[in-house]
Amino acid sequence: MNRDQELFERARRVIPGGVDSPVRAFGSVGGTPLFISRAEGAYVFDENGDRYVDLVCSWGPALLGHAHPEVVAAVREAAVRGLSFGAPTLAEVELAEAVRARVPAAEQVRFVSTGTEATMTAVRLARGATGRDAIVKFAGCYHGHSDALLAAAGSGVATQGLPGSAGVTQAAARDTIVVDYNDLDALERVFAEAGDRIAAVITEAAPCNMGVVAPAPGFNAALRDLTSRHGALLIVDEVLTGFRVHGGGWLGLEGNAYAPDLVTFGKVVGGGMPLAALGGRADLMQLLAPVGPVYQAGTLSGNPLATAAGLATLRLADRGIYGHVDDRSTQLQLAVGEALTAAGVPHVVQNAGNLFSVFFRDGEVSTYDDAKAQDQAAFARFFHAMLDQKVALPPSAFEAWFLSAAHDDKAMDQIVSALPAAARAAAGS
Ligand SMILES: *Cc1c(COP(=O)(O)O)cnc(C)c1O
């Protein structure tokens, strides 16, 4: 048994499944997760002492690469001044200003610690603002693990949600209506039937948690129109896309052609520390306590180490950084497509800006049902063949592949030269 295997066994005795977040357990690909001892630039090192090119990037935050020296220095400087105060700080104001400067829809910003809290608060705020109970979400969009947002689609086109997890009450799920992604007709039917009950539509700016499924052209703008017509709010979840696909997130990439009422951030905005945010129209944000009646709070909210990491990250994330990540992404999308084609593996590569994923099936994916109809066993073989060649992909066929500004020619060469053997493994030959 190697050290990772030993640790996994030990972890499973004291931590359910050995992990603190399910996908880390390698459940859908099998085998033993890497126990990471450190990370630097484009690489992670596991407890066996092996080095891997990392395509997880902490599931998004590591836009600049792991342990960027200037981000680490900012956190160090903050740490010696104190780890947590539970009081307002200059850095929170600066970070809120930095978010607003990049995302015009975020007129005011409230910091929290996780994306889950950001979307949960957005839902509560939407209900408080409209006095309505129902929320519409799309099948395959992930917004964290709060009860209302863990509703699963039932059968039928657009259905009253079913609990998406044990422990979610029927009542919580009942107020969540689940609609197929990219299906405007279904959404219009839902509004025609229940428009006066709907507090908000929540959507990923560009879904990346069922694999990458970009919105059809005009889809988000149509959500804006439809919600406005019915007096419902539009919540755009940029926890994954925000500050990653563009300095202004997906909204910025689409030229801020439409403005959501509320927008949520996480991942990159915290630069690798536990920090997330809710932003939106000032009149709505003013409904949050202490100004308004919608309660929300957090002992560690706006933590000084987290705001330091976030500020340093946003300041460094200039056009050059996004240009680099965009170029690397294009390069890798082409290379993986070529390798899979050469090996005769059915696949489709889809992107939303520099975020992309590979579906192991033929034909475009525009809904969660499409995404599920792929050959997950082929992905698992591909994944392990890459891992054998010291390239760490996200351990699920339903995740984006993450690049960073630290993925240089050397790291890219290692990934690209691993692809042909992995494609042959996927083909089962
Ligand atoms: C990761 C993610 C979340 C949840 O954020 P956590 O910090 O894991 O709670 C919410 N929405 C989207 C789109 C995400 O990708």
Pairing mode of beta strands 233-237, 262-265: parallel
Q: Tell whether ligand 1 has an atom less than 6 A from the beta carbon of residue 240.
A: yes
Final residue of a domain: which of 251, 284, 316? Answer: 316
pLDDT at 153: 72
Are 174 and 310 within one domain?
yes
Final residue of a domain: which of 316, 344, 371? Answer: 316
Q: Tell whether ligand 1 has an atom less than 6 A from the beta carbon of residue 113.
A: no
Instruction: Identify the CATH number of the domain in which residue 37 sits.
Output: 3.90.1150.10
| Total-model pTM | 0.97
Q: How far is the CA of 138 from the centre of ligand 1 (A)?
A: 15
Q: What does each C-alpha distance from 302 to 112, 172, 287 come to in angstroms?
A: 6, 29, 19
237 is an active site residue: yes
d(CA 220, CA 222) in angstroms, rounded, equals 5
Are 54 and 122 within one domain?
no
pLDDT block averages, 10 residues each, the chain of length 429: 96 98 95 98 98 98 98 98 98 98 98 98 98 96 94 65 88 93 96 96 98 97 98 98 98 97 98 98 98 98 98 98 98 98 98 98 96 97 98 97 98 98 94
Please enumerate in sequence order all residues whose Cβ is within 8 A of that of 225, keeping only pairs 6 or more positions apart, or say none.
none
Instruction: Identify the CATH number of the domain in which residue 125 sits.
Output: 3.40.640.10
Are 306 and 349 within one domain?
no
Buried-exposed string 184-202: b where 16+ CB fall within 10 A, e elsewhere:
eebbeebbeebbebbbbbb
Are 340 and 277 within one domain?
no
408 is an active site residue: no
Are 78 and 209 within one domain?
yes
Q: How far is the CA of 266 from the centre of ligand 1 (A)?
A: 7
pLDDT at 154: 66
Out of 43, 52, 142, 181, the active site residue is: 142
Q: What is the domain extent for residue 220? A: 69-316
Quick one: angle between helices 304-316 and 90-102, nearest 10?
A: 40
Give nearest CA residue, ligand 1 atom 11: 143
Phi, psi of 15 (to 5 degrees): -130, 125
DSSP code per residue over 247-275: TTHHHHHTTT-S--SEEEE-GGGGTTSS-
55 sits in which H/E element: none
For 254-288, write each residue's pLDDT tens digit: 999 999 999 999 999 999 999 999 999 999 999 99
Are 307 and 370 within one domain?
no
Out of 54, 147, 237, 375, the active site residue is: 237
For 163-291, where are the alpha helices, taking DSSP H only? 170-174, 184-194, 219-229, 249-253, 282-285
- Type of residue found at 106: A
Cβ–Cβ under 8 Å, residues 104 and 262? no
Nearest atom of ligand 1 to the alpha carbon of 204? 13
d(CA 314, CA 15) in angstroms, rounded, equals 34
Are 21 and 94 within one domain?
no
CA 280 to chain centre: 19
Are 336 and 419 within one domain?
yes
Final residue of a domain: which of 281, 316, 351? Answer: 316
Number of domains in the chain: 2
Are 273 and 353 within one domain?
no
pLDDT at 152: 80
Are 352 and 422 within one domain?
yes
